[in-house]
Amino acid sequence: MARERAAAVCTACENVLAVTVWEDGSVHPIGTGATCSCGNETFDVLDDSELEDVPDVDDRGRPQA
């Protein structure tokens, strides 16, 4: 099954996370299990035009210097 990495915003706390988007459209955070740190399971994937102010993150969603 194909997948891609993206940035997404938690719909509950507005935390920005690195996620994997699967071919079926499901979105899963990278490095935090199936949920945001606030416990929410719903995310809005950002498109490229929304990413200019989002810091680079590693595979665990940690900001890079």
> Of 46, 4, 40, 21, whose CA–CA distance to 55 is shortest?
46
Q: Domains of the chain: which residue ranges?
A: 3-48
Global model pTM greater than 0.85: no
- The number of residues in the chain equals 65
Q: What is the pLDDT of residues 6-50, one digit of tens each?
A: 999 999 999 999 999 988 989 999 987 889 989 999 999 988 655
